[in-house]
Every structure is written in structure tokens, then in C-alpha cells.
A and B are shown apart, each in its own frame.
Chain A
């Protein structure tokens, strides 16, 4: 175990990974120990042989074929995650598009909303939920509202008459049907 630790220290010394004090101690040890010298020599020879000796290898595919897969994947991932696509290189044009397009969308939505919620013209008659007042003491009113159809029926009745004098239906869309 001690020998193993010493071997690892010698390797660290060869690799320049030891602090100065310990490196000096190891240098002194190597100067006196032939076994340590042999190991250091082997490690150094291998290190020298390996540095810059990585096997060169050419991609077995043609430039076009190799690139086509990369390009497809870039495009696919950009489609799948528009946010990720924007995280890819940003040109000024892309940056502008990134800011301007959402703003344009918000502005368009605001215009549509304004048109949609434009105040309705004054209503001629009450709509459901409005208070109905009979201003004439001679008149009685009765209302019926059907939630499912949105239909409200108002009976105006002359107290002196036996049958309803008039009936007006009001739909939720404010159109008025008169029976």
C-alpha cells in the first residue's frame, strides 16, 4: 500500500502536480532510488510518446452527408423549441424580430379587444337583471327569465284589465322580440 502511494506520488511529480516542497522531496528520493528512477523513466517515455500522437482519423462520410444530418437536427430542434432556436446565434435582425413580433401581436390583440368590447348603443328596454319599474300606478309588471335560452319575458298588465296588455321579450344579446 505504501509502495502504491509512492508510485502515485512519483507520477504526480512527473506530471507537475505536486507543490514545490513535496516536489523537492520526491526529486531527492528519485536521485537516490534506482527503482524510482526506472519508474519515472518509463512514465516520462510514455508521456513523451503520447503527447501529440493521437491517431488522425477522417470522418467516413462525405462533407455533404455529414453536414446534412447536423443541419437537419439544428432545424428540427429550432422548430421543436422556438425559444431554443432563438437561443442559437442572434443576429440584430433576429433580435429585432424577437422583440418586435410579440409587441405587434400584443398590439393586434389589443385592437381586436377594443372593437369587441366597444360600448353597446343605449338600450331601448331593460335587459335581464335590470330593475323594472312600473311608473303607472294602473300597471302591474311580471317578468320571467329563462337562463338556458337567455330569454326574459316582461308582462305589462293593466290592473283594471283581465288579460296582460302587452308582453315584451328581451334576449341576452339585447335584441328585442315583441310578441
Chain B
């Protein structure tokens, strides 16, 4: 099922135009080019390989079905990333409905002990290689609650404004600010801890 050679030489714009006319081979080439990025974003949010795979594939199906709506205001991969984020948010909401409310959930919302944490006065990421930095950030993200992680991913990776995050997470701007703040405090603390561990 490999695409013909001429597909690989086309730009995203050309492939999107061909796919919009019903060319499934062109769409397959787009999937091949960007599947890792779409999968990585799903993984960043869900922290589960199977779910990330399923959601990223669902996103491509949705992308195909809505391709005529893509007008090129953003890049194709940005447009696809928004689709997978929305699917992940829907999935997170489903999980939230399913899980029982607990004291921990309250701590997630208000930040729990992070409010009391001392400020990290040394930059915990100084002197790290890019690859190592990415790994540490990824490891720290995995330790956050899903709400805090989602707010942080949408703000730092997707670079969305508070208003847009609130809309997508279906909460108030105040809640977004609160989640973002405590997510950052916890991240700073986790990264500082990792730095201390590696120095010892």
C-alpha cells in the first residue's frame, strides 16, 4: 500500500487539494507524513499508547470526512492537531464521568499542596541537552493530573490563549488559570527534583 513516488514529492498544499477532490492516495501520503506528530499529541494528553493510537486514527478519519471544511487558514498539520485534541478532550470527559468523585479530585482542581510549595530559585532545565530536556518534561507531565496536564499541553505546546483553553475544556477562564498555575508549580518542583537526583 505504498503511495506512488510522485505523491512523496508533492507539497502538503497540493496533497490536500488532491485529497479534497477525493484522492485517497494523496490523503494516505498526508497521514504518512504527519502521523507521528498527531500520535505524539494524543499521547501527551492521554498517556496511554493504545488510546493514543485509536484516537489519532479516529482523528484521521474525521479529517478525511471534514476535509472540504479545511480552507487553509492554518497549516494542515495544525488543523489535524486541533481535531485530535478535541477527540482527546472528549475522551477525557468520558473518563471523568466514569470515575468516582474523590478527595483527590478536589485536590486536582485546587492544586492541593502545590499552593504551599516554595518557589524554585534555580532553573531546573539549565544545561540540559534538548533530548534530555524533552524526556524530563515528558516524565514530569506524566505525573500531573489529567486536568493540569491538559491545560499545560494546550497552553505550552498548542500555544492557545486562556479563553480558547476554557472553551475547549468546557470550564471558566479562572479555572484554566488555576489549573495552569498549579500545573506549572508542580512541573517546576518535579523538574527541580530530577535535577537534584541527577546531581547526586
Q: A87 to B69: give the CA distance in the assembly, Å.
A: 10
Interface residues of B in 54-71 (CB under 8 A from A): 56-58, 60-61, 64-65, 67-68
Residues of B within 8 A of A71 (CB): 24, 28
Q: Within 8 Å of chain B (Cβ to Cβ): is A123?
A: no
The chain A residue sitting closest to B38, CB to CB, is A59
Decide yes or no: A12 and B162 within 8 Å by CB, A53-B133, A59-B35, A94-B22 being known contacts.
Answer: yes
Q: Are B157 and A54 closer than 8 Å at their CB atoms?
A: yes
Query: What is the CB-to-nearest-CB distance from A68 to chain B, in angstroms, rounded to a whole number?
Result: 7
In the complex, the chain B residue whose C-beta lies closest to that of A60 is B49
* A89 at interface, CB cutoff 8 A: yes
Residues of A within 8 A of B130 (CB): 53
Contact of A45 among B24, B40, B123, B161 (CB under 8 A): B123
Interface of B is mostly: helix
* Interface residue B89 (Cβ < 8 Å from any Cβ of A): no
Indicate whether B53 reaches chain A with its CB closer than 8 angstroms. yes
Q: Which residues of B contact A47 (CB under 8 A)?
A: 156, 184
**Distance, CA A43 to CA B156, complexed state (A):** 12
Measured CB to CB, the closest approach of chain B to A88, in angstroms, equals 5
Q: Which residue of B lies closest to A75 (CB)?
A: B24
CB of A142 within 8 A of chain B? no
Of A4, A50, A92, which one neighbours B137 at CB under 8 angstroms? A50
Closest A residue to B50 by beta carbon equals: A60
Tell me the residues in window 32-47 of chain B with beta carbons closer than 8 Å to chain A beta carbons.
32, 35-36, 39-41, 43-44
CA distance A67 to B26 in the complex (A): 12
Cβ of B33 to closest chain A Cβ, rounded Å: 10
- B13 CB to nearest chain A CB (Å): 15
Closest chain A residue to B141, Cβ basis? A55
Report which of B53, B138, B156 forms a contact with A51, defined as CB distance below 8 A.
B156
Closest partner residue, chain A, to B56 (CB atom): A59
**Nearest neighbor of A76 in chain B, beta-carbon distance:** B61
User: A43: which B residues are within 8 A, CB to CB?
Assistant: 184
B151 to A: closest C-beta gap in Å: 12
Inter-chain CA distance A8–B181, complex, in Å, is 7
- Beyond A4-B115, A49-B133, whether A59 also contacts B36 by CB under 8 A is yes
* A80-103 vs B, Cβ < 8 Å mask (1 yes, 0 no): 000010011111111000000000
A-B contact pairs, 17 of them (CB 8 A): A8-B178, A11-B177, A45-B124, A49-B124, A50-B152, A54-B44, A55-B40, A56-B36, A56-B40, A59-B36, A59-B53, A63-B32, A63-B35, A67-B1, A70-B64, A74-B24, A74-B61
Q: Which 6 A-B pairs have the closest CB atoms?
A: A55-B138, A49-B125, A57-B40, A50-B156, A91-B22, A45-B123
Q: List residues of B whose CB falls within 8 A of some A CB.
A: 1-2, 19-24, 28, 31-32, 35-36, 39-41, 43-44, 49, 53, 56-58, 60-61, 64-65, 67-68, 115, 119-121, 123-125, 130, 133-135, 137-138, 152-153, 155-157, 159, 161-162, 174, 177-178, 180-181, 184-185, 187-188, 191
